[in-house]
């Protein structure tokens, strides 16, 4: 794990490196730095390195100048004259690095011109025209490529006829077709030949760019990358496959097709979201995996929707077929949980790749129906696996994301996930996206489901090349997959394969497609499937015989039949067979109900506190902002007084876990400083860019790595990412913080579909912590409430069931519930609940309402004694003032949760009711502390019981706690509500009204 320490890379100027001790930097490896710098250079738009000639005017301007100069050197400015005379202009400057075809024009004999003589202006004009044509094919060829197997959707984009698209000013006639043209350095179509007849140039370009592959790449801002792609598609012979390769494709296609046919035969009325019409996706995935494994990848993490999922599990992952067939049998489950439908389940397989003879791990991450929601989860899981393996460049672990065409362009999370792809703390070093583009989404045609020409256009924002390919041409598909895998291994950037196929049946096997797409389906009915087309081709060219084709298909059918018979002997399904992230060794040998202590030695707290409140050691020249010097001094004073505020309590939790070898990762918007400017985990040198110091990374020499990362402004993708990260290793504290709690609702499907229900559906645990700033502090409808009621409503503990009381009551409740929801009122309790995440013998997500004004509240401080050995998390904090000391005199008990406690105590003091009113804090709201609530109520036998909250009555914790109070009290006493009335909005926008409402609630609560 500690190797991962060096996974961070940060480019510093050489000056900064010289001046500051290496421990100031996130990475001290100069090699890494060079890489990071190089990467940054590639990303940066640089006019020399970029591809402005594609659409820009600079190159054509230079060309024009050159042309004019050739005609009459005096017609251009003297600077151009000097430039061209110096022979600097061999080719456009942006094309300079390409070495192919560098012979000067004069070396050629053009249509009778004497070799060696200066070319005439027509020759030059015609050459420039040919160059323009070549470039035009490269830029727009994909628009007219034959991508649609059904040939329904015109291969031409609206308004583009093929000649208009490609040759804007085509002035050549038949007579020019045999003329020889020197090939520019921007093309590889010539192979070893420096010139070709025009006819041949057009033929080759047509074949490369307008046949069954449409390459979209000329928008990429890197000449190197553009040339790399040109070379892989233009070089003559790239599409030649050996007979062995062809047979392998045929065999794989036979399995993919045979699998769907077998399911259709055996389970004709079951939904399986068959892949028919795009079966080539299976050989495609296998090709990507083969090539990537050959190039060093050992682990592939995949995310995919319903379509073709079972086929992928069977034929890509090689999940035992009997396990898959068992899912159709409607059997009882052998393990806990509610399970999920078969086309959502995940898997994890380690096996030998027979093509490369290397061991690989394949995981398909379980996902919900919510299309594309799994994308960031896969990325987080991939990133985590890379991190724990010390795979800093993504050479060993990679992700593949498979998409439907409608979802890929329709779902915003695709865009959000794409934007993580190149961020230092979120990159997975290149993802291969595969779109199973069946040109339909349920019943909706593309023309009604997107405004962009292609369903893949979203990928252009990150400069990912897009390889469109006709799914009926298996060899073209394999070539594209090979290039995609090599692209990722070379540049470690995303790319997209758009497999353009069709959907042979309805959306699922029960749907009738003719209702809505009659013409399309008339065509599909007449269309031969890809396997038959390919088999015919191979038979015709003599690569295989008809018998061979039949025997391969029969052999696979036999395999299916045997597995089918085996599946019939099963009596139960096992959800564990479908786990995508097994935690080997974590549960074994553990007492499932034993929580390790969360208090630590006081000296540890002091050590962490001192480090956390100090500037970088031995670096007097590190200039810290004056305001931060004051923050550090205040922290130091607190440590000296053995007190902790919120930021210090959090640092104590992180630091002590790091000491114990637990990796801590905190991510979210502006988390490094903290939205409320309280955290300051990263100190910035005031004079040197990017020179930073993070004391939590330097607590102990042998500590686990700490990472804190300001994220992109996305909740959906980033929360999904962190959830995925948390799935990989249970021995890590992974936290995501919302800027304000209410923003978490833009990530609602991650919360609903993964975090709250992941364990139940997919036997997958996660200890992810969500930090949600919450509190009604007059900031208006937003920025006030994290909508804790929503989280509580999803808690799975039964309001009417009081579990048996025992010493293990608390931990058993945690074991049985889906997640924990808490609103802590002290730094010590915050510290303990964070540490408890790791101390538990299992993992549960933790939803924490976190404070805003309490971050600086003078009373919201905890003594070290509440965090040191012997102390622990308090589910309920009883009243420990005069009321608690004399409970029989108490007239009223106010139960509350979170920051309102401080307002309530203040009012109680002002009203001098300390002996009459007890205030009890419910710190862990869910699972509900039935036992302790009962204990508290029993303590105050004669008192009226109320629940006070600052949220509106239909919000906050009330609706959750009310029935549970009654259960805790065995319905023998009542508990009433004090607080704001019901409201549609979370909070008023008027400060005056806010204060009025708050005073009313405080007066109501603190009165006898
Ligand atoms: C976020 C979301 N919205 C709506 C749906 C309902 N739905 C299921 S499949 C589907 C069409 C998907 O089309 P596409 O992405 O092209 O995949 P295909 O089924 O064609 O393979 C829709 C709308 C869903 N599953 N997820
Ligand atoms: Mg579709």
pLDDT digits (tens, 9 = 90+) for 253-311: 999 999 999 999 999 888 889 999 999 999 999 999 999 999 999 999 999 999 999 99
Whole-number Å distance, alpha carbon 305 to ligand 1 midpoint, is: 8
Residue identifier of the C-alpha nearest atom 7 of ligand 1: 442
Whole-number Å distance, alpha carbon 468 to ligand 1 midpoint, is: 21
Q: What is the mean pLDDT of residues 326-330?
A: 81
Q: Give the tens place of pLDDT for each residue, 507-523.
A: 988 889 999 999 999 99
On whether residue 373 sits in a domain, the answer given is yes
Ranking 79-88, 204-213, 726-735 by mean pLDDT, the lowest is 79-88
Residue identifier of the C-alpha nearest atom 1 of ligand 1: 370
Q: Are residues 862 and 880 in the same domain?
A: no
Q: What is the mean pLDDT of residues 314-329?
A: 91
What is the domain range of residue 493? 243-578
pLDDT of residue 102: 44
* Ligand whose nearest atom lies closest to the CA of 406: 1
Would you place residue 576 in the very low, low, confident or very high pLDDT band (cuts 50, 70, 90)? confident
Q: Are residues 265 and 172 in the same domain?
A: no
Phi, psi of 484 (to 5 degrees): -60, -45
Would you place residue 83 in the very low, low, confident or very high pLDDT band (cuts 50, 70, 90)? low
On whether residue 668 sits in a domain, the answer given is yes
On whether residue 366 sits in a domain, the answer given is yes
Q: Best mutation site among 278, 308, 441 for ligand 1, i.e. most ligand atoms within 8 A of its Cβ?
A: 441
Plot region of 205 (φ>0 → left; ψ -120 to 50 → alpha; else → beta): alpha
Give the atom of ligand 1 at the shortest distance from the alpha carbon of 437.
16
On whether residue 594 sits in a domain, the answer given is no
Ranking 39-43, 454-458, 806-810, 898-902 by mean pLDDT, the lowest is 39-43
* Ligand whose nearest atom lies closest to the CA of 281: 1
Neighbours of 914 (CB within 10 A): 17
* CATH number of the CATH domain containing 345: 3.40.50.970
pLDDT of residue 113: 43
pLDDT of residue 345: 84
Ranking 166-180, 183-197, 678-692 by mean pLDDT, the lowest is 166-180
* Ligand whose nearest atom lies closest to the CA of 307: 1
pLDDT reading at 326 higher than 70: yes
Which residues have CB under 8 Å from 78's CB, separation 6+?
Answer: none
Whole-number Å distance, alpha carbon 518 to ligand 2 midpoint, is: 16
Q: What is the mean pLDDT of residues 38-46?
A: 30
Q: Are residues 831 and 713 in the same domain?
A: yes
Whole-number Å distance, alpha carbon 268 to ligand 2 midpoint, is: 21
Whole-number Å distance, alpha carbon 477 to ligand 1 midpoint, is: 24
Would you place residue 11 in the very low, low, confident or very high pLDDT band (cuts 50, 70, 90)? very low
Separation of alpha carbons 705 and 2, rounded Å: 7
pLDDT of residue 157: 53
* CATH number of the CATH domain containing 180: 1.10.287.1150
Give the atom of ligand 1 at the shortest distance from the alpha carbon of 408.
15
Give the atom of ligand 1 at the shortest distance from the alpha carbon of 373.
1
Q: Which of 163-167, 579-583, 708-712 has the highest mean pLDDT?
A: 708-712
Q: Best mutation site among 371, 404, 413, 753 for ligand 1, i.e. most ligand atoms within 8 A of its Cβ?
A: 371
Whole-number Å distance, alpha carbon 444 to ligand 1 midpoint, is: 10
Residue identifier of the C-alpha nearest atom 18 of ligand 1: 404
Q: What is the mean pLDDT of residues 725-734?
A: 96
pLDDT reading at 586 higher than 60: yes
On whether residue 997 sits in a domain, the answer given is yes
pLDDT reading at 49 higher than 50: no
Phi, psi of 491 (to 5 degrees): -105, -15
Q: Give the tens place of pLDDT for each residue, 52-66.
A: 333 334 455 566 666
Whole-number Å distance, alpha carbon 137 to ligand 2 midpoint, is: 28
Pick from 241, 240, 243: nearest CA to 544: 243
Q: Are residues 367 and 511 in the same domain?
A: yes
Q: Are residues 256 and 387 in the same domain?
A: yes
Q: Are residues 287 and 208 in the same domain?
A: no
On whether residue 801 sits in a domain, the answer given is no
Q: What domain count does the chain have?
A: 4
Q: Judging by beta carbons within 10 Å of its beta carbon (0-12, 13-18, 19+), is residue 756 exposed, middle or buried?
A: buried
Phi, psi of 228 (to 5 degrees): -55, -45
Largest CA distance in the chain: 117
Q: Are residues 761 and 883 in the same domain?
A: no
pLDDT of residue 342: 74
Domain end: 800, 835, 866, which one? 866
pLDDT of residue 61: 57
pLDDT of residue 330: 75
pLDDT reading at 12 higher than 50: no
pLDDT reading at 44 higher than 80: no
Whole-number Å distance, alpha carbon 307 to ligand 1 midpoint, is: 9
Q: What is the mean pLDDT of residues 981-992?
A: 95
Separation of alpha carbons 805 and 700, rounded Å: 41
Any residues with Cβ below 6 Å from ligand 1, and which?
307, 369-371, 404-407, 411, 436, 438, 440-442, 503, 507
Q: Give the tens place of pLDDT for each residue, 410-419.
A: 999 999 999 9
Residue identifier of the C-alpha nearest atom 12 of ligand 1: 441
Separation of alpha carbons 279 and 499, rounded Å: 10
Instruction: Give the mean pLDDT of the chain.
Output: 89
Q: Are residues 852 and 952 in the same domain?
A: no
Whole-number Å distance, alpha carbon 155 to ligand 2 midpoint, is: 18
Domain end: 171, 191, 212, which one? 212
Q: Are residues 162 and 301 in the same domain?
A: no
Contact by Cβ (8 Å): 781, 985: yes
* CATH number of the CATH domain containing 941: 3.40.50.11610
pTM: 0.89
Whole-number Å distance, alpha carbon 442 to ligand 2 midpoint, is: 7
Residue identifier of the C-alpha nearest atom 26 of ligand 1: 370
Give the atom of ligand 1 at the shortest distance from the alpha carbon of 371.
26
> Is the omega angle on the peptide bond into residue 927 within 30 degrees of 0, that is, cis?
yes
Neighbours of 154 (CB within 10 A): 10
Q: Are residues 924 and 853 in the same domain?
A: no
pLDDT of residue 883: 97
Q: In what order do the strands lie in the sheet with 917-922?
A: 876-877, 917-922, 892-896, 944-952, 975-980
Q: Are residues 515 and 617 in the same domain?
A: no
Would you place residue 119 in the very low, low, confident or very high pLDDT band (cuts 50, 70, 90)? confident
- Compare 655 and 113 and report the one with higher pLDDT: 655
Q: Give the tens place of pLDDT for each residue, 894-948.
A: 999 999 999 999 999 999 999 999 999 999 999 999 999 999 999 999 999 999 9
pLDDT reading at 20 higher than 60: no
On whether residue 233 sits in a domain, the answer given is no
E strands in 474-519: 495-500
Hunting for tokens 């060093």 — which residue is that? 296
pLDDT of residue 19: 32
Which residues have CB under 8 Å from 627's CB, separation 6+?
Answer: none
Domain end: 156, 191, 212, which one? 212
Ranking 78-82, 133-137, 791-795 by mean pLDDT, the lowest is 78-82
Hunting for tokens 């993580």 — which residue is that? 420
Whole-number Å distance, alpha carbon 405 to ligand 2 midpoint, is: 5
- The one-character DSSP state at 613 is T
Give the atom of ligand 1 at the shortest distance from the alpha carbon of 308.
21
* Ligand whose nearest atom lies closest to the CA of 404: 1
Q: How is residue 960 written in tokens?
A: 């959750």
Whole-number Å distance, alpha carbon 427 to ligand 2 midpoint, is: 28
Would you place residue 620 in the very low, low, confident or very high pLDDT band (cuts 50, 70, 90)? confident
Q: Best mutation site among 274, 312, 343, 442 for ligand 1, i.e. most ligand atoms within 8 A of its Cβ?
A: 442
Contact by Cβ (8 Å): 705, 4: yes
Q: Judging by beta carbons within 10 Å of its beta carbon (0-12, 13-18, 19+), is residue 479 exposed, middle or buried?
A: buried
Ranking 91-95, 387-391, 569-573, 688-692 by mean pLDDT, the lowest is 91-95
pLDDT of residue 339: 77
Hunting for tokens 């093309």 — which residue is that? 187
Residue identifier of the C-alpha nearest atom 20 of ligand 1: 441
Q: Are residues 322 and 457 in the same domain?
A: yes
- State what percent of residues in the chain have pLDDT above 70: 87
Contact by Cβ (8 Å): 771, 850: yes
Ligand 2 (ion): residues with CB under 5 Å are 404-406, 438, 440-441
pLDDT reading at 160 higher than 90: no
* CATH number of the CATH domain containing 626: 3.40.50.12470
pLDDT reading at 712 higher than 60: yes
* Neighbour-count burial for 932-960, b at 16+ CB within 10 Å, e otherwise: bbbebbebbeebbbbbbbbbbeebbbbeb
pLDDT reading at 41 higher than 60: no
């Amino acid at each position: 794990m500690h190797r991962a320490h060096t996974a961070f890379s940060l480019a510093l100027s050489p000056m900064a490196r010289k001046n500051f001790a290496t421990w100031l930097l996130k990475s001290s490896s100069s090699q890494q730095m060079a890489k990071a710098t190089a990467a940054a250079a590639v990303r940066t738009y640089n006019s020399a390195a970029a591809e402005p000639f594609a659409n820009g005017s600079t190159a054509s301007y230079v060309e024009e100048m050159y042309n004019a100069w050739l005609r009459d050197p005096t017609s251009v400015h003297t600077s151009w004259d000097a430039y061209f005379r110096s022979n600097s202009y061999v080719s456009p400057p942006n094309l300079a690095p390409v070495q192919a075809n560098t012979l000067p024009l004069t070396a050629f004999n053009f249509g009778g011109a004497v070799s060696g003589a200066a070319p005439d202006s027509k020759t030059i004009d015609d050459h420039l025209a040919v160059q323009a044509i070549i470039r035009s094919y490269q830029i727009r060829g994909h628009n007219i490529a034959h991508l649609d197997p059904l040939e329904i959707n015109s291969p031409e984009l609206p308004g583009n006829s093929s000649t208009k698209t490609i040759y804007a000013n085509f002035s050549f006639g038949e007579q020019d077709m045999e003329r020889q043209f020197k090939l520019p350095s921007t093309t590889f179509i010539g192979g070893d030949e420096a010139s070709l007849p025009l006819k041949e140039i057009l033929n080759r370009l047509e074949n490369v760019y307008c046949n069954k592959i449409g390459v979209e790449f000329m928008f990429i801002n890197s000449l190197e990358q553009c040339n790399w792609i040109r070379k892989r598609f233009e070089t003559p012979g790239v599409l030649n496959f050996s007979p062995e390769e062809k047979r392998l494709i045929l065999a794989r296609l036979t399995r993919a097709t045979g699998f769907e046919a077998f399911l259709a035969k055996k389970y004709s009325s079951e939904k399986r979201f068959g892949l028919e019409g795009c079966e080539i996706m299976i050989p495609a995935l296998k090709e990507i995996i083969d090539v990537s494994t050959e190039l060093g990848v050992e682990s592939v993490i995949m995310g995919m929707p319903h379509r073709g999922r079972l086929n992928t599990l069977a034929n890509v992952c090689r999940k035992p077929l009997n396990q898959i067939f068992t899912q159709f049998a409607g059997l009882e489950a052998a393990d806990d949980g509610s399970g999920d439908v078969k086309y959502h389940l995940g898997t994890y397989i380690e096996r030998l790749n027979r093509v490369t003879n290397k061991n690989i791990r394949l995981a398909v991450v379980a996902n919900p129906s919510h299309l594309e929601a799994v994308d960031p989860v896969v990325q987080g899981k991939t990133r985590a696996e890379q991190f724990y393996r010390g795979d800093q460049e993504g050479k060993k672990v990679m992700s593949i994301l498979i998409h439907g065409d409608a979802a890929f362009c329709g779902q915003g999370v695709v865009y959000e996930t794409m934007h993580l792809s190149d961020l230092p703390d979120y990159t997975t070093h290149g993802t291969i996206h595969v779109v199973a583009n069946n040109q339909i989404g349920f019943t909706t045609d593309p023309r009604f489901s997107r405004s962009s020409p292609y369903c893949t256009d979203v990928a252009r924002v990150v400069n990912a090349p897009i390889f469109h390919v006709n799914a009926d041409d298996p060899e073209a598909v394999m070539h594209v997959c090979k290039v995609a895998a090599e692209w990722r291994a070379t540049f470690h950037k995303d790319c997209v394969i758009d497999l353009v196929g069709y959907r042979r049946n309805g959306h699922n096997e029960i749907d009738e497609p003719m209702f809505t797409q009659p013409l399309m389906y008339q065509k599909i009915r007449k269309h031969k499937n890809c396997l038959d087309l390919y088999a015919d081709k191979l038979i015709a060219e003599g690569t295989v015989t008809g018998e061979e084709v039949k025997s391969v298909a029969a052999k696979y059918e036999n395999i299916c039949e045997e597995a089918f018979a085996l599946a019939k002997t099963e009596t139960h399904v096992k959800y564990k067979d479908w786990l995508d992230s097994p935690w080997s060794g974590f549960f074994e040998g553990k007492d499932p109900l034993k929580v390790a202590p969360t208090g630590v030695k006081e000296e540890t707290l002091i050590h962490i506190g001192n480090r956390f409140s100090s500037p970088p050691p031995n670096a007097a020249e590190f200039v810290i902002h004056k305001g931060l010097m004051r923050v550090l001094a205040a922290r130091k004073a607190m440590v000296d007084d053995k007190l902790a505020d919120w930021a210090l309590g959090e640092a104590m939790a992180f630091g002590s876990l790091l000491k114990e070898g637990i990796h801590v990762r905190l991510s979210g918007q502006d988390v490094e400083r903290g939205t409320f400017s309280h955290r300051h985990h990263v100190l910035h040198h005031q004079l040197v860019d990017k020179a930073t110091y993070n004391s939590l990374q330097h607590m102990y020499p042998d500590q686990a790595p700490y990472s804190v990362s300001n994220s992109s402004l996305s909740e959906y993708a980033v929360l999904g990412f962190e959830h995925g990260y948390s799935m990989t290793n249970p021995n890590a504290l992974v936290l995501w913080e919302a800027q304000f709690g209410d923003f978490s609702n833009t990530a609602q499907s991650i919360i609903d579909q993964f975090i709250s229900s992941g364990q139940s559906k997919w036997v997958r645990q996660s200890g992810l912590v969500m930090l949600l700033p919450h509190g009604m502090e007059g900031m208006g409808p937003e920025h006030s409430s994290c909508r804790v009621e929503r989280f509580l409503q999803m808690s799975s503990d039964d309001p009417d069931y009081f579990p048996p009381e025992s010493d293990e009551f608390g931990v058993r409740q945690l074991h049985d519930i889906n997640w924990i929801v808490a609103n802590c009122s002290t730094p010590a309790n915050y510290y303990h609940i964070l540490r408890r995440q790791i101390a538990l013998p299992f993992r549960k997500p933790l939803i924490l309402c976190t404070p805003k004004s309490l971050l600086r509240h003078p009373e919201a401080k905890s003594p070290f004694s509440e965090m040191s050995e012997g102390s622990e998390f308090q589910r309920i904090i009883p009243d420990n003032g005069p009321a608690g000391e004399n409970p029989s005199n108490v007239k009223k008990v106010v139960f509350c949760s979170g920051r309102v406690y401080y307002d309530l105590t203040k009012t109680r003091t002002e009203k001098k009711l300390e002996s009459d009113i007890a205030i009890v804090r419910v710190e862990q709201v869910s699972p509900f502390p039935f036992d302790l609530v009962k204990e508290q109520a029993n303590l105050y036998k004669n008192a009226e019981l109320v629940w006070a909250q600052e949220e509106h009555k239909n919000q906050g914790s009330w609706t959750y706690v009310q029935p549970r109070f009654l259960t805790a009290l065995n319905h023998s006493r009542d508990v009433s509500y004090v607080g704001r009335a019901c409201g549609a909005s979370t909070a008023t926008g008027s400060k005056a009204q806010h204060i009025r409402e708050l005073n009313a609630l405080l007066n109501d609560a603190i009165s006898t």
